[in-house]
């Protein structure tokens, strides 16, 4: 009987360890077991998205207020079209808001930063399917290094 009790405890420990690894994997991937509530979509065209990926966070002051839903190519303008899924519980933003693709640290992951614009009496709020016109593309490290090297050689 003591052998069977030991086997049950070892089995429970293994099941708990597997469950812990699954929760850790979901946490690292940025996925959640609970829903984020209702959401609405916004779209924006960028000239260069760098290494931005779907499911990347949309942040306002460090707080995640949405996620990148999809990235596609706009066949009319030949620019990347980014579709954002914004969480309704985090609020709506004025139509004068701007977006920028930013990087966490020097070589970290890229995310979309939203900067709310000014609100006047006649300013409307962005809703489902609206397009944000004011965008700032990603800084590409290779381009910056190339510009730096070119500026050094230019002085010679």
Say yes or no to pLDDT of 139 above 80: no
Say yes or no to pLDDT of 13 above 80: yes
How much is the pTM?
A: 0.69
pLDDT for position 154? 65
Say yes or no to pLDDT of 34 above 70: no
Distances (CA, A) of 68 to 57, 120, 133, 135: 6, 28, 17, 15
Share of the chain above pLDDT 90, in %: 35
Per-residue pLDDT tens over the stretch 82-120: 999 999 888 888 888 899 998 887 777 889 999 988 877
Radius of gyration of the chain (CA): 22
Relative to beta strand 39-45, strand 79-87 is antiparallel
Confidence of residue 58 (pLDDT cuts 50, 70, 90): very high
Say yes or no to pLDDT of 32 above 70: no
Q: How many CB atoms lie within 10 A of CB 51?
A: 13
| Bigger pLDDT: 8 vs 151 | 8
pLDDT for position 17? 94
Closest of 114, 126, 129, 41 to residue 84, by C-alpha: 41
Supply 60's token pair: 């306002």
| Bigger pLDDT: 15 vs 125 | 15
pLDDT for position 82? 93
Confidence of residue 122 (pLDDT cuts 50, 70, 90): confident
């Amino acid at each position: 009987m003591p052998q069977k009790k030991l086997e049950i405890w070892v089995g429970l420990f293994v099941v708990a360890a597997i469950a812990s690894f699954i929760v850790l994997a979901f946490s690292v991937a940025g996925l959640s077991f609970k829903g984020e509530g209702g959401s609405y979509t916004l779209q924006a065209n960028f000239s260069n998205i760098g290494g931005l990926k779907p499911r990347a966070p949309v942040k306002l002051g460090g707080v995640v207020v949405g996620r990148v839903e999809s990235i596609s190519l706009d066949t009319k303008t030949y620019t990347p079209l980014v579709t954002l899924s914004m969480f309704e519980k985090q609020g709506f933003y004025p139509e004068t808001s701007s977006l920028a693709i930013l990087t966490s640290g020097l070589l970290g992951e890229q995310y979309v930063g939203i900067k709310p614009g000014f609100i006047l009496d006649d300013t409307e709020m962005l809703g489902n399917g609206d397009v944000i016109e004011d965008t700032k593309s990603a800084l590409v490290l290779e381009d910056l290094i190339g510009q730096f090297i070119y500026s050094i050689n230019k002085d010679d």
